[in-house]
Chains A and B, each alone.
Chain A
């Protein structure tokens, strides 16, 4: 009796030690990928980093050059995408949190929005190709910006709704009690209270689209030369990385690594700033 009990205890303890060991190992395994990827990226990226990267155009194979035109293209398309996507997302989130919190429409939109949030981005590229590129007959920077905007919208809708829902109702009631119309209450009180969270959402959206490649492949296409004409194909950093990395030329591959480093640093910086903003809001 006694010995069988202690055997049982021993077995339970053994199993516990084993599984907990697995948990430690799994965490080490997961984190080691982050370290490994970042280490390689820093190593390969920094070796190609120079001033020329930011001042010169993408080179033909075998020549020296930089990434100025894809960097500018990415910036311009990202800014336009945010300008289109953010107001739309904020307004939609406002309806869901302020006017129709318990509506049927809101729950349907929330469900659909969550699906759009993780829908394959290449499908969004196909969609914009169909409605813009195929209709206009040529690839264009506008199409690229619109496809990025379609990715921005769900992110902003989600954070706006979440952040406005967190605004205490007493604030709304106080605003109503001094006779503020509802629309002004939302704009002057609710938005102000939720501002940090909403900015976080926009930053996260920017982080998300700054690395997006798939939707740009057949909307903005690519451009070897300096061009800010949004009616023509525009180069973007991710697409150039894709093209250069798969090429057989050493110079192009090394530029691809440098581009990858720039994107990753930008994305990490954006998500860290977003996180700091969110943390500030929590503590205040």
Chain B
């Protein structure tokens, strides 16, 4: 039906032009080929788009599949047991989960306020000619591979903390009840606290560049109106910019949190890889990603490997939730601005 339905169009176009029937047939063939190419290209691109979904599906399925032996052996207790003993093959994930959450929390505690203030500086205070260089510098900081932060943390930052910062923290917070347990014990240099600080330096550029982008999306009229009323820069930032961009800022923070939770190399160097939960932040600990990076290639026995893959599954589920929330919030902001 279709070829015959369309061929008259070809004929009409060629009528009276002295073109022979044979050439008309040729032209129909060419058009046919182009149409086929069109359909093929469309389907190939569609297939590629679906492949992105397949990759995600594959990640989830392979992680669930790989962690089944461990989940079957330990059940729910895998989530709250602290023991991690490859010799007796008893595994529990709470120590790495705790380490992941606490290091990320320390990182966000530092990086969020600092990042927001840098974004504020870049959008409100910085002279125009300096904005681009500083913005670029911050983005370059975001591009430095995490292993560089790791090696720097191990050889430079951790010894510095051990020698100067941690003894100071121990003596200062020693007499204060709750804080004394948080900052207790010998200054190892490596540990949860150091890992949290390195993570803070790593996620700072992400939070800064996203906050700067959303701050820049505030309509100038709003800010000018507030300045016109006599507001100070801080008041404009606090009562106009922040409320307007709240959703986007939270989205950016969640994005940074997603990075911090999943970060591997920077943490692995400085966390100490100790499977225990310690009251002190200065003590060595471990995170999910550091445990996998340190132990996976040395894991003997299916149960050990499976327990590590189960850790990966937990990490993926946590980051998936955090990143989904981040994306939904950022999408909501974009819909409102009308980007």
Which A residues lie at the B interface, using CB under 8 A?
Answer: 12-13, 15-16, 19-20, 22-27, 29-31, 33-34, 37, 40-41, 44, 87-89, 91-92, 94-96, 98-100, 105-106, 108-109, 111-116, 118-124, 126-127, 129-131, 134, 150, 153-154, 157, 181-184, 186-187, 207-208, 210-214, 217-218, 221, 238, 241-242, 245-246, 253, 256-257, 260, 263-264, 267-268, 271, 275
Contact = CB atoms under 8 A, between A and B. Distances in A.
A112 B151 contact: no
B152 to A, nearest CB: 5
A91 to B, nearest CB: 3
Nearest to A257: B151
Q: Interface majority SS on B: helix, strand, loop or mixed?
A: helix
B292 A119 contact: no
B269 interface: yes
B83 interface: no
A92 B55 CA distance: 13
Contacts of B46: 95, 99-100, 105
Contact of A26 (B121, B154, B308): B121
Contact of A214 (B122, B141, B264): B264
Contacts of A114: 323, 327
Contacts of A153: 51-52, 55
A32 to B, nearest CB: 10
Interface in B186-224: 201, 204-205, 208
A183 B42 contact: yes
B138 interface: yes
Given A31-B134, A122-B312, A181 B262 contact: no
B45 A119 contact: no
Interface string B304-339: 000011001001100110011001000000000000
Interface of B: 34-35, 37-38, 40-42, 44-53, 55-56, 58-59, 62-63, 65-66, 113-115, 117-118, 120-122, 124-126, 134, 136-141, 143-152, 154-156, 201, 204-205, 208, 232-235, 237, 255, 258-259, 261-265, 268-269, 289, 292-293, 296-297, 308-309, 312, 315-316, 319-320, 323-324, 327
B151 A126 contact: no
Contact of A24 (B41, B65, B121, B137): B121
A213 B147 contact: yes
Nearest to B39: A183
A214 B293 contact: yes
Nearest to B256: A118
23 contacts: A23-B120, A23-B125, A26-B121, A34-B141, A91-B44, A91-B48, A95-B48, A100-B49, A115-B323, A119-B320, A119-B323, A120-B316, A130-B63, A134-B66, A183-B41, A183-B42, A208-B143, A210-B145, A211-B146, A211-B148, A217-B297, A263-B148, A264-B148
Nearest to A150: B55
A94 B48 CA distance: 9
B309 A37 contact: no
A2 to B, nearest CB: 17
Nearest to A31: B137
Contacts of B117: 22-23, 25-27
A15 B55 contact: no
Contacts of B121: 23-24, 26-27
A127 B62 contact: yes
B9 to A, nearest CB: 12
Contacts of B297: 217-218, 221
Contacts of A183: 34, 37-38, 40-42
B52 A98 contact: no
A245 B151 contact: yes
B327 A242 contact: no
A20 B233 contact: yes
Nearest to A95: B45
A257 B316 CA distance: 31
The 5 A-B residue pairs whose C-beta atoms are closest, nearest first, are A211-B145, A120-B262, A91-B48, A26-B117, A183-B41
A258 to B, nearest CB: 11
Given A12-B232, A24-B125, A120-B264, A115 B148 contact: no
Contacts of B155: 40, 44, 245, 253, 257
B67 to A, nearest CB: 9
Contact of B65 (A130, A246, A256): A130
A92 B52 CA distance: 8
A15 B63 contact: no
Given A114-B327, A115-B323, A94 B293 contact: no
B93 to A, nearest CB: 15
Nearest to A23: B121
B55 A214 contact: no
B232 A154 contact: no
A211 B145 CA distance: 5
A31 B134 CA distance: 8
B264 A121 contact: yes
Contacts of A157: 52
B28 to A, nearest CB: 14
Nearest to A180: B34
B333 to A, nearest CB: 14
B62 A30 contact: no
A213 B139 CA distance: 20
